[in-house]
Structure 1
Amino acid sequence: MDWLSDPGSWTSRLVLTRGLALVYLVAFLVALRQFRPLLGSHGMLPIPRYTARVPFRSKPSVFGLHYSDRFFAGCCWAGLLLSAAALAGLVERLPLWAWMVVWALLWALYLSIVNVGQTWYGFGWETLLCEAGFLAIFLGPAGVAPPTLVLWLLRWLLFRLEFGAGLIKLRGDRCWRDLTCLRYHHETQPMPNPASRWFHLLPPRLHTVETLANHATQLVVVWGLLAPQPVATVAATVVIVTQGYLIVSGNFSWLNWLTLVLATSVVDGRVWTAVLHVSPPRDLASPVWFTALVAVVAAGLLGLSWRPARNLVSRRQLMNASFDPLHLVNTYGAFGSVSRIRYEVVVEGTDDLLAGPDAVWREYEFRGKPGNVHRRPPQVAPYHLRLDWLMWFVGIDPGYGGRWLPVFLRRLLEGDRATLRLLRRSPFPPDAPPRWVRVRLYRYRFTTRAEKRETGAWWVRTPVGIAVDPVSLDDVGPLPSAR
């Protein structure tokens, strides 16, 4: 039974769990700071209205049993405190059962948020955190030898994450096959960061090299994750380097950060021991009941892996899909298609009596998305600006605004303070909101080096049209009750 535990991975587990705790900390902080205008009782997509129409068994969540804004905030604070304790190493000192309780609470709390988060939580990094967080429950504290089966399940997760992303690209946009996608991607990605313009202005040959490196990592090197050491460490190191490259070149929430953290679990523990100058205890226990529980859980997860594995080889591969309501084993992928042109929406308001041609319109400024052409794109990730991210989709098609965009515009007309806090700057104070708001569509592109020297601007924008015609409170009408 010695093969069921791996004392040599003690330091790898330490690095993984500290990194995972950090991601949890950021995720709960994002939820706490943004939930009221997005999901609260008076938010754009209120949780009570959602749980009233969606069965608990299809979206299990503590908020399906009880909801209030205060209760949601309390759950976020609990997640913040528990993740901070794990990050500080306090949870490592607990007995095995207490360790499992802490990590199970973190998983259950965040799963509860994801399952009622609707459009705001409909991305792959949410289910990735749920799946990785569930596996962490069974890794054990400092005094327990890391379970071999869980370590291999982490490899299996990382493999699906990377290989699925590679396959969806080859099966999706032609530019991934002709190696031209990265000529556009740095400029058209959802939320560029300060370095994105520099990457966009690289010579086309280097963009080709970037694309080839992506394919090599996600389609070839990734198989090394399933190999013995030291091949697995080499493959994991390549993944860590490529994820670091993505972190430097764009804002993708905590997707790349968590992928990097998962890759650390594959690196040989002796490497981390030498780097961090820490050593495992001499006596590492693995209780029989814990070993048996891990074996049962691993068998169950392997059974659930059938549909995600089949999805990988399917010609109709799904991207970022879950096959069970607990998000235990999922399928992943990103940027199966790449936009060639960046369309950006700009929200404007006016306090003029009529929204005619002589009206004076003033822009709202978002925290992360492009707006003011002279403003440098900010570094946001691993923090996530959910409204900014969804506004990128509205630029592609206003229909993506669905049920929440009209509510957002109404909140601006009402001067709602919670909604305004999602923005970087409002041209209207809360007690003097605009009479009219509209949404204009622009084409954005990065300035060339010569244009940047001449104007100091980061972007050049060209008007395209009106995405949403001017509306007033009378036009958007009353909103239905949150309940």
Structure 2
Amino acid sequence: MEWFVADHAWLGRAVFLHGLAALYVVAFVVAARQGPALIGSRGLTPVPTFLRRSGTRRDGLRRAPSLFHLHWSDQFFLTVCWSGAALAGLSLVGVTARLPLGVSMAVWLVLWALYLSVVNVGQVWYAFGWETLLCEVGFLAVFLGDASTPPPRLGMLLLVWVLFRLEFGAGLIKMRGDACWRDLTCLFYHHETQPMPGPLSWFFHHLPRPLHRVEVAANHVTQLVVPFGLFLPQPWAGVAAAVMLLTQLWLVASGNFAWLNWLAVVLAASALPDAWWSALLPRPVEEWLVPSRAGAAPYPWVVAMVLLTALVLVLSRRPVLNLLSPGQAMNASFDALRLVNTYGAFGSVTTVRHEVVLEGRDEQGAWREYGFAGKPGDPGRWPRQLAPYHLRLDWLMWFVALSQRYAWPWLPRLLRRLLEADAPTLRLLGRDPFGGERPQAVRAVLWRYRFTTWAELRATRACWHRERVGDLVAPVTLATAEKDWW
């Protein structure tokens, strides 16, 4: 079956699957560590409440398939998360690839089903494009084969199709969105106002403005022109993929976008020809990634691959129509299983950065600031490199600073949990100024942040300058923090 085999993609497939397994580990660990406080039975948006509002079990399974429609408990949720992390870890170290084909496929299918179950009850905390992207590529991974079967040409093309939609959709949403993308000025602001700046974002922001224009123009070429090169014969498809891979690494260096950029990296890596990987990887690593190149393509697997391709083509209709639509939606799913989706980000770019700072009042009447693990707070605290780890609360706080409509109903509950000194909630933060004790009152304060200048950095060693705007939420106490007080 020469037509079925992509002989140039043994290493590309292996790199992709190992990279995907690593990101699965991160995703499941994030869910286990943050999930109980965010969506647990006493979480900020409890899953039991969400399930009750989803209608009957049958309705819930139809609209958002999840194991948790069948059973929910906080312990069961943690079991799902840690089981997923363990299976992904086995795949990362190569165990899954060495299993018989049917068992290997079953492992990847279980990983996909477990993570889809989490995403479909994750509510606002999981409403990000990289969640859907992980579900989509995770399903495709089920059919890519094990170490003893040849890489399927159709399967590798389906990965390319995902990468094309990811990049081209992001490019179109920019050109149709904020005028600053068309006049090449968006990066005058983006590095400073993005949701989660990284340790190099300050330096990126202070690059000369002509270079910022070049960055935007290069982004347009990478997202609107280069993706078509993915469908050319090798090595030209590899050249297009390499351009995208390097661009994604540039984005990794300039900010924190969870595993979005890293998923794009592993997708692009799958399109690089084996000759390139052989030149990049030392022989021991190459042999570890691909322990065997023997074996044929079992007929049932070939049939399954053909049926999957037909399914993806049918389900691609609505995402393609969305790409062509002037009202293009960002990061949307068109089927309950999130098999074929549409992507895009930053159709608009904010020019001013506001941050919500949470404070508690001590017994002496002084206000103390809670620290977050990732988002800006103390002006002297330099941003951290966090991606692919995802701090969900920190990200949602960025949206609250844009509009209070993003805060309901979880921000009032967050403030109440701080008043109660709730331990799981406090673990979502980077610093508790009360050391686990209860504050007398809490409030949410809105600040205007900007990066310091070179002169200010030399004088103060602080990367941020901030000015208070006012209270977003006035001080509340346990006596006044009723369920619907805000």
TM-score (normalised: structure 2): 0.96
Deviation at 1:399, TM superposition (A): 2.0
Relative distance call for 1:307 and 1:215 in structure 2 (3 A) is same
Partner of 2:395: 389
Listed as ranges, the matches of 1:344-363 within 5 Å are: 344-352=355-363, 359-363=365-369
Counterpart of 1:425 in 2: which secondary structure? coil
- After superposition, the C-alpha distances for 1:235-286 in whole angstroms (9 at most, x for unaligned) are 0000010000000000110100110000011111221133223365452310
> Where do residues 390-429 of structure 1 align in structure 2 (5 Å cutoff)?
390-429=396-435
Do the aligned residues in 2 keep the contact of 1:187 with 1:342 (CA within 8 Å)?
A: yes
* Separation in structure 1 between the aligned mates of residue 5 and residue 67 of structure 2, nearest angstrom: 34
In structure 1, stretches of 5+ residues that fail to align are 354-358
Report Cα offsets for 1:210-236 as digits up to 9, x if no partner. 101100100011110121111100000
* Residue identity matched to 2:387: A
1:469 aligned counterpart, secondary structure: strand
Show the 5 A alignment for 1:296-315. 296-315=307-326
1:263 corresponds in structure 2 to 268
Query: 1:12·1:264 contact (CA, 8 Å) conserved in 2?
Result: yes
Correspondence 1:68 to 2:73: yes
What CA distance in whole angstroms lies between the structure 2 residues aligned with 1:63 and 1:479? 27
> What root-mean-square deviation, in Å, do the aligned CA atoms of Structure 1 and Structure 2 show?
1.3
1:84 aligns with 2:89: yes
1:380 maps to which of 358, 377, 386: 386
Matches of 2:7 and 2:117, distance apart in 1: 33
Q: Provide the rounded CA distance (Å) in 2 between the counterparts of 1:53 and 1:398.
A: 23
Cα offset for 1:479? 8.2
Deviation string 1:90-117 (CA, Å, 9 cap, x unpaired) is: 1111000001000001000000000000
Per-residue deviation at 1:439? 0.6
Query: Secondary structure of 1:474's partner?
Result: coil
Output the CA distance in 1 between the equivalents of 2:483 and 2:213.
52
User: Equivalent residue for 2:330?
Assistant: 319
Q: Of residues 192, 196, 201 in structure 2, which corresponds to 1:187?
A: 192
Contact 1:347-1:438 within 8 A present in 2 as well: yes
Gap change, CA 1:341 and 1:478, over 3 Å in 2: closer
Aligned to 1:17: 17
| Matched pairs, number | 474
SS of aligned partner of 2:61: coil
Cα distance in 2 between the residues matched to 1:65 and 1:479: 30
Deviation, 1:337, is: 0.5
Residue equivalent to 1:95: 100
Partner letter of residue 322 of structure 1? S
Cα deviation per residue 1:283-338 (whole Å; 9 max; x = unaligned)?
23100111011101110111000000110010000000000010000000011110
Q: Does 1:455 align with 2:460?
A: yes
Q: Deviations over 1:148-202 (max 9, x none)?
A: 1111111110000000000000001010000000010000000101100000001
Query: Which position in structure 2 is the counterpart of 1:205?
Result: 210
Partner SS state of residue 365, structure 1: coil
User: Are residues 1:371 and 2:373 paired?
Assistant: no
Q: Is the Cα–Cα contact under 8 Å of residues 7 and 284 in structure 1 kept in the other structure?
A: no
Q: CA deviation at 1:8?
A: 2.5
Match of 1:356 in 2: none
Structure 1 counterpart of 2:255, which letter?
G
**SS at the partner of 2:465?**
strand
The 1-side partners of 2:479 and 2:69 are apart by: 33
Q: How far does residue 352 in structure 1 lie from its aligned partner after superposition? A: 4.5
Q: Hey, what does 2:446 align to over in structure 1?
A: 441
Deviations 1:356-395 (A, max 9, x none): xxx4211101100100001111111110100001000111
Summarize deviations over 1:335-362 as a string: whole Å, max 9, x none: 1110000001111111349xxxxx4211
Residue 290 of structure 1 pairs with residue 296 of structure 2: no
Amino acid corresponding to residue 41 of structure 1 in structure 2: S
Runs of 4+ in 1 over 6 A off after TM superposition: none
How far apart, CA to CA, are the structure 1 residues paired with 2:153 and 2:461?
55
Q: Distance in 1 between matches of 2:99 and 2:278?
A: 22
For residues 439 and 469 of structure 1, the distance between their equivalents in structure 2, rounded to whole angstroms, comes to 7
3-state DSSP of counterpart to 1:71: helix
8 Å CA contact 1:180–1:207 kept in 2: the answer is yes
Q: Give the match for residue 148 of structure 1.
A: 153
| Matched-pair identity in % | 57
Q: Within 1, Cα distance between the matches of 2:94 and 2:420? A: 46
Structure-2 residue corresponding to 1:52: 52
CA distance in 1, matches of 2:434, 2:16: 46
Equivalent residue letter for 1:156:
W
CA distance in 1 between partners of 2:410 and 2:177 (Å): 29
Aligned to 1:342: 353
Deviation at 1:475, TM superposition (A): 2.2
Secondary structure of 2:62 counterpart: coil
1:77 to partner: Cα distance: 1.0
1:168 partner SS: helix
Q: Distance in 2 between matches of 1:96 and 1:395?
A: 49
Deviation string, structure 1 residues 425-470 (Cα, Å, up to 9, x no partner): 111133x311211111110000011001011111000111111111
How far residue 398 of structure 1 moved from its aligned partner, in angstroms, is: 2.0
Instruction: Give the counterpart of 2:181 among 176, 181, 201.
Output: 176
Which of residues 74, 98, 105 is equivalent to 2:110? Answer: 105
Does the 8 A contact of 1:407 with 1:479 survive in 2? no
Q: For residues 479 and 37 of structure 1, what CA distance do their matches in structure 2 show?
A: 20
**1:315 partner letter:** P
Report the Cα distance in structure 2 between the residues aligned to 1:101 and 1:20, rounded to whole angstroms: 16
SS in 1 for 2:448: strand
- 1:424 Cα deviation from its structure 2 partner: 1.0
Structure 2 residues not aligned, in runs of 5+: 55-59
Partner of 2:57: none
CA distance in 2, matches of 1:479, 1:11: 55
Amino acid at match of 1:318: A
